[in-house]
Amino acid sequence: MKNKRVLVRVDWNVPFDNSSGQATVADDFRIRESMLTIENLLSRGAKVILATHLEAGISIEPLKKFLPSEVELLENLRNDPREVANDESFAKELASRADVFVNEAFSVCHREHASIVSVPKLLPSYAGLHLEKEVKELSKAFNPEPPFLLIIGGAKFETKLSLIKKFIEIADEIFVGGALAHNFFKEQGADIKNSLVSDGNFNLESLLATEKIILPKDLVWLGDKIVDAGPETLNDLKMRLEKAKLVIWNGPLGNFEIGYGVATRELAKLITNSKANSIIGGGDTLAAIKNENLLDKFSFVSTGGGAMLDFLANGTLPGIEALN
């Protein structure tokens, strides 16, 4: 690798804190997870060029404080519309900067964007060390040591239904919480009033008939809306976690953004106190527990949200396939 130019696609699309009037990084988890690959390449004498996306129009300036010396950081990829359009000309421009490509952006590997799926066609390409670890750890779900408990929360039922359907055959139990549970309650005939629910009838009777679907035992209401799970639900989960050998969790149990994060935080503590091999992920999940100082107590924390769900549902991702 000595003197080779290596283009490393990272995902440094991290939250910023603008309260001081100057943007600073509020959570550097994804940055830290990419550093092992960057430092490995530097130790081998490579010339490292990083490429990341932020929301279009946002400056990369606050990210520069995290750069090891002599590492170059390209401008925000999404400032050029050709990135999202997977334009071949943009991929060629990126590839012309380097001799080798490394994908260290698992969390965007479900996107068919130029830097993810087209650049690998133009250069010798490899998986970064953390991307490799993501695949290894998440793949444990496909042949799990029983009992295996899958915990799915959050909203956007239609994006998570395929995952539930797949793992109804693999998991021993699937706990469905957050707004996702509202659809199950609705199809059971329960009055959920004005609680958040995904439109449509998803014909959930067959899933419920397996008796593998576990729903919250009690609920916290704010007026006419369900906003969190209650203490009976957490006691139920505690008993299930005591038996589990593997637990995978994605998605909060309540509306933490308006202050209802109690059940989510308590669940995080229950998982870390259990003896189960624990894998968690999802931006909302991590945001809800970020002040609990628990991340290093889980067996593995995925940098992906949508990418984690898509990988579990499909066994691969476009960005991974591009490396093949």
Mean pLDDT of 314-323: 97
pLDDT at residue 20, as a whole number: 84
Is the pLDDT at 156 greater than 90, yes or no?
Answer: no
CA distance 139 to 110: 16
pLDDT-based confidence at 228, cuts 50/70/90?
very high
Q: Is residue 45 scored above 90 in pLDDT?
A: yes
Are domains 5-127 and 136-313 of this chain identical in fold? yes
The amino acid at residue 135 is V
Interval 26-36: pLDDT, tens: 999 999 999 99
What mean pLDDT is predicted for residues 221-237? Answer: 98
Chain centre distance of CA 210:
28
Which pLDDT does position 277 carry in this prediction? Answer: 97
Give the separation between CA 38 and CA 52, rounded to whole angstroms.
13
Average pLDDT over residues 305-310: 95
- Residue 290: the pLDDT is 86
Comparing C-alpha atoms, which of 281, 210, 266, 207 is closest to residue 236?
266
CA separation for the pair 218, 255 (Å, rounded): 15
The whole-number pLDDT of residue 80 equals: 98
Of the pLDDT bands very low, low, confident and very high (cuts 50, 70, 90), residue 74 is very high
Predicted pLDDT of residue 307 = 96
* 294/21: higher pLDDT: 294
pTM of the model: 0.94
pLDDT over 90 (residue 159): no
| Whether the predicted pLDDT of 158 surpasses 90 | no
Q: Which residues contact 6 (CB under 8 A, 6 or more apart)?
A: 41, 46, 47, 48, 49, 98, 99, 100, 101, 102
Question: What is the pLDDT of the chain when averaged over all its residues?
Answer: 96
Are 7 and 95 spatial neighbours (Cβ–Cβ below 8 Å)?
Answer: yes
Q: Is the pLDDT of residue 202 over 90?
A: no
Span 5-127: which CATH code? Answer: 3.40.50.1260
Give pLDDT tens digits for 132-147.
999 999 999 999 999 9
Angstrom distance (rounded) from CA 117 to CA 140: 25
DSSP assignment of 184-242 = HHHHTT---TT----SS----HHHHHTT-EE--SSEEEETTEEEEE-HHHHHHHHHHHH
DSSP 107: G
Q: What is the CATH number of domain 136-313?
A: 3.40.50.1260
| Spans of all domains in the chain | 5-127, 136-313
Contacts of 303 by beta carbon, 8 Å cutoff, 6+ apart: 11, 29, 30, 33, 106, 107, 130, 134, 281
**Whether the predicted pLDDT of 59 surpasses 90:** yes
Task: Please give the full DSSP string across 58-69, using - where no structure is assigned.
Answer: --SGGGGGGPPT
* pLDDT higher than 90, residue 19: no
